[in-house]
Amino acid sequence: MIDLRSDTVTRPSEKMRAAMAAAEVGDDVFGEDPTINRLEGLAAARFGREAALWVPSGSMGNTIAVKLHTEPGSELIIEERGHILNFELGAAAVISGVTTRAVKSSNGSGHLAWNDIAPAIRKNPPYYQAATKLVCLENTHNFAGGSVLTAEATGEICERAHSEGLAVHLDGARIFNAATALACDVQELTAGCDSVMLCLSKGLGAPAGSMLVGSSEFIERARSWRKRLGGGMRQVGILAAAGIIALEEGPALLERDHRNAKCLANGLAAIPGIDIDPEKVATNIVIFDVAKAKLSAAEIVAKLKEKGVLAIGFGSQIRMVTHLDIADSDIDAALSAMKESVPSA
Ligand code: TLP
């Protein structure tokens, strides 16, 4: 199977498995796991922050950050296709008691600009309205086709949000993809954000785990919330051993995924019935529209599966994601399967 459903499907490398087997471990709830402590130190240093916390999933990292930056009855602002809003089962409402204000991006990038955010802010509202406390950004923006937000744009939003008394949390599940595409450092790309969540288990290849980075005070409070949510995981150095390899060696491997995604997008653009602008594919996520094809997205995805290619369909769109376990030759095979699966309009 050529599995293009997500970069979450990567399997740990032999090197990771060997490191996991040999990992020195202890009880992390007592703060005694040397391997997790090392990973947290490395992540904090990589992002130029005081501290970092390993969390079992990106969703838990985002949930904890939303909890710490808000209070029940307040509001957060996010782009309307954001992961926190659409794919985290209302955790912001359930765990933090906040309403989520979905805002449309107006500049074609899929990302919010300050001009989009400002009119949605409720600062010192009348007593019957919820006050805005938090802006959530996402870089890369998954369902905006893996698009990237520059350091300059991020910095401007952070500066202005802070001057309005708002915190900024960055869902940086794929921040290393963004840094690779922009040829800049993650430190520069995330500098103004109050907290950043990054995933080790997507393009970087670890079997599980994400990191939250921020101030020491923020991370200490996050540690309590991780435990409260059931994420105190004892001898978790086994997973951190793979996480260290993901963090140290994974970023350099992303460029190939981006090349493959571009190649895939170019091939798709040449198939009648498929709508995609390959110029807009900046990282490893390829989203295209099949509204003009004779079959629905779900039907095309089912046909692809018969031919050994897995993708995800939603509405009239299909998403394909390149990753470590996709070889260059898989792109040609996926394109051939696609040509056979989309009857010309
Ligand atoms: N994304 C998954 C699905 O949930 C959609 C995927 O296949 O892309 N933030 C972003 C931007 C994400 O894309 C994801 C996962 C998460 C957070 C959550 O991470 P996990 O799956 O570790 O909870």
pLDDT reading at 345 higher than 60: no
The DSSP symbol for 141 reads B
Indicate which residue's Cα is closest to atom 8 of ligand 1: 6
* CB count in 10 Å sphere of residue 107: 11
Express each pLDDT in 242-260 by its tens digit: 999 999 999 999 999 999 9
What does the pLDDT read at residue 256? 98
Distance 59 CA to ligand 1 centre (A): 7
Q: What is the pLDDT of residue 109?
A: 87
**Which atom of ligand 1 is nearest the CA belonging to 208?**
22
DSSP 150-193: -HHHHHHHHHHHHHTT-EEEEEETTHHHHHHHHT--HHHHHTT-
Cβ-based neighbours of 37, under 8 Å, separated by 6 or more: 31
Give pLDDT tens digits for 121-133. 999 999 999 999 9
pLDDT, the chain, mean: 97
pLDDT, tens digit, for every residue of 111-120?
999 999 999 9
Domain annotation for the chain: domains and CATH numbers: 7-249 (3.40.640.10), 253-341 (3.90.1150.10)
Which residues contact residue 306 at a Cβ distance below 8 angstroms, ignoring those fewer than 6 apart? none
pLDDT exceeds cutoff 90 at 108: no
**At which residue do the structure tokens 């260290």 appear?**
244
Burial, 137: exposed, middle or buried (Cβ in 10 Å; 0-12, 13-18, 19+)? buried
Give dist(CA 40, CA 31) in Å, integer.
Answer: 11
Assess contact for 177 and 254: CB atoms under 8 A.
yes
Looking at per-residue confidence, does 91 or 107 come out higher? Answer: 91
Residue 199: CB within 6 Å of ligand 1? yes
CA torsion through residues 184, 186, 189, 192, sign: negative
Which of 4, 202, 211, 314 has most ligand 1 atoms within 8 Å of its beta carbon, as the pocket-test mutant?
202
Report CA(272)–ligand 1 centroid distance (Å): 31
* pLDDT of residue 342 exceeding 80: yes
Name the residue among 29, 30, 43 with its Cα closest to residue 199: 43
Does pLDDT of 71 surpass 90?
yes
Which among 264, 233, 312 has a CA at the least distance from the CA of 9? Answer: 312
Token couple for 235: 């001898």
Q: What would the pLDDT profile of 136-161 be if each residue is shown by its tens digit?
A: 999 999 999 999 999 999 999 999 99
According to DSSP, the residues that pair with 54 across neighbouring strands are: 211
Residue 73 has pLDDT above 70, yes or no: yes
The answer to whether 28 and 235 are in contact (CB under 8 A) is yes
Ligand 1 centre to CA of 117 (Å) is: 23
Reported confidence tier of residue 227, pLDDT bands at 50, 70, 90: very high
d(CA 151, CA 50): 20
How many Cβ atoms are within 10 Å of 51's Cβ, its own excluded? 19
83 lines ligand 1 (CB under 6 A): yes
Q: What sections of 12-75 are H helices per DSSP?
A: 14-22, 34-46, 58-69
Tell me, what DSSP letter sits at residue 143? Answer: G
Mean pLDDT of 261-286: 97
Burial 147-178 (b: 16+ CB within 10 A, else e): bbbbbebbbebbebbeeeebbbbbbbbbbbbb
Closest listed residue to residue 283, CA positions, set 250, 264, 261, 312: 261
- Tell me if 8 CB under 6 Å of ligand 1: yes
Q: Which protein residue's CA is at the shortest distance from atom 15 of ligand 1?
A: 58
Q: Closest residue (by CA) to atom 4 of ligand 1?
A: 87
Model pLDDT for residues 178-200, shown as the tens digit of each residue: 999 999 999 999 999 999 999 99
Percent of the chain clearing pLDDT 70 (strictly above)? 99
- The average pLDDT across 51-62 equals 98
Is the whole model's pTM more than 0.85, yes or no?
A: yes
